Amino acid sequence: MARRTPQPTIRIPHSWSPRPYQLPALEAFEAGRRRQMHVWHRRAGKDSFSMNLAAIWSQREVGTYWHVMPYKVQAKITLWNGIRKDGVRFIDQAFPQAIRKSTRDEEMLIDFVNGSTWQMVGADHYDNLMGSNVRGVVFSEYALCDPAAWDYIRPILAENKGWAVFITTYRGKNHAYKLYERVKDNPEWFCSKLTVDDTRDWDGARIMTPADIERERLEGMDEAMIQQEYYCDPMAAFSGSYYGTQMQRLVAQGRLTSVAYDPKYSVYATWDLGWVDHLTAIYIQLHGNESRIIGSRSWRLTTIPDAIADERKTFPWEVDTDVLPWDAAKSSLETGSTWQQVFEDQRRRTELAPKLSLQEGIQQVQLLLPTCSIDTEKRPWAPEGNNQLLIESLTGYRTEVRKGSGTPGVFQLSPSHTWESHLADALRYYAVFRSSGGLTLGEWGPAPDWSRHDRAVI
């Protein structure tokens, strides 16, 4: 009988040693603190740390492990195909071939010999994730991830006694900042915030030197981005944000405050129709020249009739007029109906926002926001504060630096399509509608016209 060749023993982690400032997180994990959040500056090795953590536990406990990035395409480019400065792929360092059974590039999925799996996924498609035995999840650049992804995954981890690690820099005081502030003193969590002044290698050398930071400035990185990325400043302006300046002014002027529903005034619902994937609505009352935002809501994989039914059950007001995108009057359903007709079948009065270019619409929102107040009180439908997702969306709605432009600080012409886009687009339709003179109603507004609906019934 032929003798079996012994398989080589591979030590995990493979060809990787933690830096001194990463050790406390590993030690806390070993001690059982399986919820962690780390706000570490750019180039602090966040993804490398978390991938090697996943490698260790995938070999100790058989299960499914996910590395969640804001967008699936970003995961492919940045890490799955990413190469370290020594020429080795990130995944090859963390997950050597000797412990793999198969590697599926299309799915960004690695099957291990011991039965575990590790996969890179995007938070932009979190509801497509499958895996009944998820044991560990890393949220990379959590400040840019759709916050609904954590709400979706958390019950799965609770059932499987799994762990979660969040790694990020701040992008203003959004959901990542709020999560850190909420859990930083929780004894079941281990949290850390490290700027370039806090991170050194074993020889005492700084990971990022003052000269490195100055080089970034000279090459075109603006000061707000430097403060955000290297000094973890949550107050730094959101680079590329279309409405960041206006939102900061609303805060300074006390316009994020208590704005109660007033039954004397009409309620407008302005909608972004993400078709089947996303529906969003913002509820607004016009008091003279002031637009008071009294509520907002998002639905995923929900029909318009179901969303309206949920709205009627949730909020204490009735909608007088729905403001829809200009193309909601086009026949786009298999039945030949329009989205506008779907609303009117629910006995809703509709108006269409005029067709304007995206850039013109963004300018209308920039003009509108200084006249807005946004309710942030705790309400029955928003126990942690009303309109929090809307405020994050308006603050985070942005464009990105144009890759390969050759000129520092040159941005793309169009917004990035992110989870923030839906509510931002809904407000854009309202701004365009209002600027066109569409809001000319008095305090009560006219009675809805059901004549077309009634003719259809008769």
What confidence score (pLDDT) does residue 271 get?
97
What mean pLDDT comes out for the span 252-279?
A: 91
Among all chains, which residue has been given the structure tokens 């359903």?
Answer: 333
What confidence score (pLDDT) does residue 7 get?
46
In the chain, % helix, strand, coil (3-state, to 5) comes to 35, 20, 40
pLDDT-derived band at 124, boundaries 50, 70, 90: confident
Among all chains, which residue has been given the structure tokens 């995938």?
Answer: 58
Report strand pairing: 134-140 vs 163-168: parallel
Task: Answer yes or no: is pLDDT of 408 > 70.
Answer: no
Q: What is the CATH number of domain 250-402+409-457?
A: 3.30.420.280
Tell the burial category of 366 from Cβ atoms under 10 Å away from its Cβ (0-12, 13-18, 19+). middle
What confidence score (pLDDT) does residue 442 get?
38
The structural domains of the chain, with segments of one domain joined by +, span 20-230, 250-402+409-457
E strand residue ranges, 261-399: 268-274, 278-287, 290-300, 321-324, 350-352, 372-375
Long-range contacts of 152-156 (CB under 8 A, 24+ apart): 152/126, 152/127, 153/66, 153/68, 153/126, 153/129, 156/131, 156/132
The model's pTM is 0.78
pLDDT, mean over the chain? 88
Give me the CATH topology for the region 20-230: Rossmann fold (3.40.50)
Query: What would the pLDDT profile of 223-243 be if each residue is shown by its tens digit?
Result: 888 999 999 998 765 667 889
What mean pLDDT comes out for the span 368-391?
A: 96
- Counting Cα atoms < 13 Å in the Cβ hemisphere of 188 gives 5
What confidence score (pLDDT) does residue 54 get?
97
Residue 450's CB is within 10 A of a number of other CB atoms, namely 14
